[in-house]
Structure 1
Amino acid sequence: MDHEKVNILLVDDQPAKLLAYEVILKDLDENLVIASSGREALEVLLKTEIAVILVDVCMPELDGFELAAMIREHPRFQKTAMIFISAIQVSDIDRLRGYEMGAVDYVPVPVVPEVLRAKIKVFAELYRKTRELERLNRELEDRVRARTAELENSTAKLRESEQRRSMAIAAGKMGSWDWDWISGDWMWDEGQYRIFGVSPDSFAVNPANVQALLHPDDVEQLRKAIAEFNKGTRAYETEFRIIRPDGEVRWCVGTAAATVDDSSRVVRVSGVTVDITERKRAEERQNLLAREVDHRAKNALALAQSIVRLTRADEVKAYVNAVEGRINALARVHTILSLSSWQGAELSRLIDEELAPYSLGGQIVLAGPEVQLLPTTAQTLALALHELFTNSAKYGALSTRSGRLAIRWQVENQLLTLSWEESGGPLVMTPKSRGFGTRSLLASVESQLGGQAQFDWRAEGLLCRLEVPLTRKTSAASPSGKFEDASSAELQRASG
């Protein structure tokens, strides 16, 4: 039998009767589910979709009437078909009570197999048809909802499109026009006059006057559009420039569509003009910014490459720490410059970023005015400060709690003078040779910034004096891309 099987629940406390029901109903080819008590039947109902319930009226603990009442209390089973089987003679009052409990039929004992099968088959088929109808209704509702949503979406898009068009015209960025191809008459709306910077009171719309407002290099676009329509083109779009009567050049994009007669001859051309000057300017700024970002990225990568290649250490861990420290210093100044859109960086901010890990209970004193550094100066000076802080933390004043560090700076005639004075730390000995950090500091300050770096290895603490011009244009600022070679060569000399 080609149908989807349904579940039929057989409820009786006597196994022999359950077996008899199974034998009688086997030919229906449905799923027979067995429950030997009312409570077991309730558990089955909560887990399984049941089409028909065949229940014995007389059962211990929970009889058929009580089970039916409990089933009907659940919203999910209020329409489930229940057939009572009674082995005792029932009166009309008993039948009425059964129907009130939700029974759809009574079957007396002894059971006539053909009658029971016929009754079960009817309700099983009714359940199947009901489910099919519910499925079809759901599908229909889904289609109706989808169609309604589609219509609402289309309406919303049309409304939104009209609102955008109205807002664009109101803002003076869009205009529409119409050209009678046969008579040569033109019609412009207010937005079109506004884009071209002319007044409807004094400007006569005709091909000659319109062409006079086009940029000389874009006049050919108009001729090409006319030729395309004569060849059978029905729509055309192009970008062009106009020169307003006051001399201002504006960028526009024009879209045109042709209307033809029965013989496919063009009779009218209508179109929309959009002022895209601001977009064009934004694109130019974006292209310039992209080139600038590319240039600065190459500069930063060149510095990182030099740091990695030229850092020296006796063991891997020391090498990794040294490289990470210098790269992090470069990253910190890059963040500061990014926040200012690469306009520059405050010297005090650079110092704050570098001293953050070492600021211990007033050990460090800062004094100096606000100084705005050029991006390239900030990058180089940040690496120099990093080397000073690192050396001090390893061997100088910041290596002990008794140490003190004073950083003072001043500006005079565009020359930044920064003094680094350590005291209270370990006894200082003049080094026999300069390490990479000191040599790279000297190379970066003197070669890249055109300044001077002086070191005084006093016994009570290092005294360093940096002099940095604030206006010198270094090789790093040049858009020629020569920074990489210059910086690498200078650091190479420092490591040699």
Structure 2
Amino acid sequence: MSEHEKVNILLVDDQPAKLLAYEVILKELNENLVVATSGREALEYLLKNEVAVILVDVCMPELDGFELAGMIREHPRFQKTAMIFISAIQVSDIDRLRGYEMGAVDYVPVPVIPEVLRAKIKVFAELYRKTRQLERFNAELEDRVRARTAELEASTAQLRESEQRRSLAIAAGKMGSWDWDWVNGDWMWDEGQYHIFGVDPESFEVTPANVQALLHPDDVGELRKAMAQFNKGVTSYEAEFRVRRPDGTICWCVGTAAATLDKGGRVVRVSGVTVDITERKLAEQRQNLLAREVDHRAKNALALAQSIVRLTRGESVKAYIRAVEGRINALARVHTILSLSSWQGAEIGKLVDEELAPYSISDQVTFSGSEIQLEPATAQTLALALHELVTNSAKYGALSTLAGRLSVKWENREDFLDLAWEENGGPPVKKPASRGFGTRSVIASVESQLGGKAEFDWRSEGLICRLKVPLNGHFAASAREPQHAAMLDKAMPSRASRSADA
């Protein structure tokens, strides 16, 4: 309802002349004047319309003014409607009290003074109009409040959802965030930060002393350095550091912090993010270790190849090439076996099988033994020794004839590989006057390289060779492998004094 909108004023009296007089008096108010000649007619109108003021005669047939007022007040919509009684008779104080109890707001005696009646009606009409305006404003305000509340709830839900997504992203990225009130010393950690430091949010109190206690002693200086930088006016800082969790594990982190300064340039707040980079650090360490391992193995392989090329001899160029190729192939075969195990080692049975594979199609060769895992360096050196034994047997021993037989057996005896190489049925064997290259190579490989023992028994019916190789690391591979060529050189006589292979 606007300020100038007309209101309804209901005039109730059983005498038309009085109603006409009231209309004349109240016409100047410029409101909607509605007349009713009985209480029943007045009730019918009220049920269908809003009324600002009811001017009712006390003395009416059927329903008098008091009874009509009581019925009006029983209706929820008209419990606060202003009612003014007009009485042509002198009413007592008891009558007035009864009228007020029925909801009357005022009494107007007869004869009516036009100015007084207009003034009273005008006051209640304006009050009704202002009340309706206030109700409308309240309704609009409530609508706005509801709309604003809905917006805030939606915004809060979005913020909560965003925070959940941020928390999930931080958790997935192994990140944590924190905030430090530089002035008051108050800290705020999120769940990710507690998780990175491995502490319980319910029991751990975030203080500089408690945080420092979780840092690796060698990295505490970074914290002090960061604080010193902030005191100098630096607004951002980044550093890597280690966290010693209460369970003893070490966590590598990278922290980024930013400072908020006041107008005087003093730090008032520091906020930051911590990222768990442990996996990255471990990957870097594994990569560095792998690079060193590759370099180490490449040098060892080159050293072995160098010694093979330098020490191999042959009666002709073709014989020399065949001998070198055979030894290089033996080295390649053991490398294949080691690569399949990610260079964790090689099983002795696979080495023997690879070296004897060309002769395993017949019944000339038998081999057996327990499953023994060899270190990579031991496997490489032992493979070359087996290759020399197979080559010598194929040239001069049991594998040089179809009637020859070869048996290879091995077992683990007190952390030593005990391998027995036994030949039978081949050409008659005589003990050589001097050791040939193959024999010297086996001895050099087993004894100089592996710290073991190589024994040869030149029986007439066939060679027996026993190799004893330590399995528990008596000779560290890392210390001996690069010296392979030098050891072979030392174990072998000069080229001029070498005799033919035994």
AA at the equivalent of 2:376: P
In structure 2, what is the equivalent of residue 371 of structure 1?
372
Shift of 1:232: 4.6
AA at the equivalent of 2:439: T
AA at the equivalent of 2:370: P
Shift of 1:329: 1.3
Task: Report whether the alignment pairs 1:238 with 2:239.
Answer: yes
Shift of 1:279: 3.5
Shift of 1:239: 0.8
In structure 2, what is the equivalent of residue 298 of structure 1?
299
State the structure with more CA Rg: 2
In structure 1, what is the equivalent of residue 415 of structure 2?
414
Structure 2 unmatched ranges of 5 or more: 1-162
In structure 2, what is the equivalent of residue 471 of structure 1?
472
SS of the aligned residue for 1:441 comes to: helix
Closer, same or farther: CA 199–321 of 1 in aligned 2, 3 Å: same
In structure 2, what is the equivalent of residue 356 of structure 1?
357
Shift of 1:350: 0.4
Separation in structure 1 between the aligned mates of residue 476 and residue 215 of structure 2, nearest angstrom: 44
Q: Is the 8 A contact 1:302 1:487 kept in 2?
A: no
Q: Is the 8 A contact 1:475 1:486 kept in 2?
A: no
AA at the equivalent of 1:362: D
SS of the aligned residue for 1:478 comes to: helix
Task: Report whether the alignment pairs 1:215 with 2:213.
Answer: no
SS of the aligned residue for 1:225 comes to: helix
SS of the aligned residue for 1:467 comes to: strand
SS of the aligned residue for 1:438 comes to: helix
Closer, same or farther: CA 312–447 of 1 in aligned 2, 3 Å: same
Closer, same or farther: CA 483–255 of 1 in aligned 2, 3 Å: farther
In structure 1, what is the equivalent of residue 201 of structure 2?
200
Separation in structure 2 between the aligned mates of residue 479 and residue 261 of structure 1, nearest angstrom: 66
Q: Is the 8 A contact 1:451 1:467 kept in 2?
A: yes
Shift of 1:423: 3.2
After superposition, residues 446-457 of structure 1 pair within 5 angstroms as 446-457=447-458
Q: Is the 8 A contact 1:364 1:406 kept in 2?
A: yes
AA at the equivalent of 2:338: L
Closer, same or farther: CA 186–410 of 1 in aligned 2, 3 Å: closer
In structure 2, what is the equivalent of residue 94 of structure 1?
none
Per-residue CA deviation, residues 311-354 of structure 1 (Å, 9 max, x unaligned), is: 11122222122112112212222332333344332111100111
Separation in structure 2 between the aligned mates of residue 407 and residue 461 of structure 1, nearest angstrom: 13
In structure 2, what is the equivalent of residue 319 of structure 1?
320
Q: Is the 8 A contact 2:393 2:400 kept in 1?
A: yes
SS of the aligned residue for 1:401 comes to: coil
Per-residue CA deviation, residues 1-52 of structure 1 (Å, 9 max, x unaligned), is: xxxxxxxxxxxxxxxxxxxxxxxxxxxxxxxxxxxxxxxxxxxxxxxxxxxx
Q: Is the 8 A contact 2:451 2:474 kept in 1?
A: no
In structure 2, what is the equivalent of residue 48 of structure 1?
none
Q: 165-174 vs 348-357, which deviates more? A: 165-174
Q: Is the 8 A contact 2:441 2:488 kept in 1?
A: no
Separation in structure 1 between the aligned mates of residue 269 and residue 326 of structure 2, nearest angstrom: 72
Per-residue CA deviation, residues 280-327 of structure 1 (Å, 9 max, x unaligned), is: 344444444444443343333222221111111122222122112112
Closer, same or farther: CA 249–361 of 1 in aligned 2, 3 Å: closer
AA at the equivalent of 2:251: R
SS of the aligned residue for 2:366 comes to: strand
Q: Is the 8 A contact 1:333 1:350 kept in 2?
A: yes
In structure 1, what is the equivalent of residue 59 of structure 2?
none
Q: 331-340 vs 320-329, which deviates more? A: 331-340
After superposition, residues 94-133 of structure 1 pair within 5 angstroms as none
Separation in structure 2 between the aligned mates of residue 441 and residue 480 of structure 1, nearest angstrom: 16
In structure 2, what is the equivalent of residue 125 of structure 1?
none
Q: RMSD in angstroms over aligned alpha carbons?
A: 3.4
Shift of 1:441: 1.0
Per-residue CA deviation, residues 45-97 of structure 1 (Å, 9 max, x unaligned), is: xxxxxxxxxxxxxxxxxxxxxxxxxxxxxxxxxxxxxxxxxxxxxxxxxxxxx
Closer, same or farther: CA 198–447 of 1 in aligned 2, 3 Å: closer
In structure 2, what is the equivalent of residue 112 of structure 1?
none
SS of the aligned residue for 1:409 comes to: strand
In structure 1, what is the equivalent of residue 278 of structure 2?
277
Task: Report whether the alignment pairs 1:390 with 2:420.
Answer: no
In structure 2, what is the equivalent of residue 179 of structure 1?
180
Q: 393-402 vs 256-265, which deviates more? A: 256-265
Separation in structure 1 between the aligned mates of residue 211 and residue 473 of structure 2, nearest angstrom: 52
Separation in structure 1 between the aligned mates of residue 451 and residue 216 of structure 2, nearest angstrom: 49
Provide the aligned length of Structure 1 versus Structure 2.
335
Shift of 1:223: 2.9
AA at the equivalent of 1:324: E
In structure 2, what is the equivalent of residue 81 of structure 1?
none
Q: Is the 8 A contact 2:449 2:480 kept in 1?
A: no
Separation in structure 2 between the aligned mates of residue 397 and residue 454 of structure 1, nearest angstrom: 18
Closer, same or farther: CA 468–188 of 1 in aligned 2, 3 Å: closer
Task: Report whether the alignment pairs 1:190 with 2:191.
Answer: yes
Closer, same or farther: CA 487–462 of 1 in aligned 2, 3 Å: closer
AA at the equivalent of 2:400: S
Separation in structure 1 between the aligned mates of residue 244 and residue 402 of structure 2, nearest angstrom: 72
Q: Is the 8 A contact 1:303 1:488 kept in 2?
A: no
SS of the aligned residue for 2:177 comes to: strand
SS of the aligned residue for 1:410 comes to: strand
Structure 1 unmatched ranges of 5 or more: 1-161
Task: Report whether the alignment pairs 1:310 with 2:311.
Answer: yes
Shift of 1:272: 0.9
SS of the aligned residue for 1:454 comes to: strand
SS of the aligned residue for 2:299 comes to: helix
Separation in structure 1 between the aligned mates of residue 313 and residue 164 of structure 2, nearest angstrom: 66
SS of the aligned residue for 2:241 comes to: strand
Q: TM-score, normalised by structure 1?
A: 0.59
Shift of 1:207: 3.2
Q: TM-score, normalised by structure 2?
A: 0.58
After superposition, residues 224-263 of structure 1 pair within 5 angstroms as 224-246=225-247, 248-259=249-260
In structure 2, what is the equivalent of residue 69 of structure 1?
none
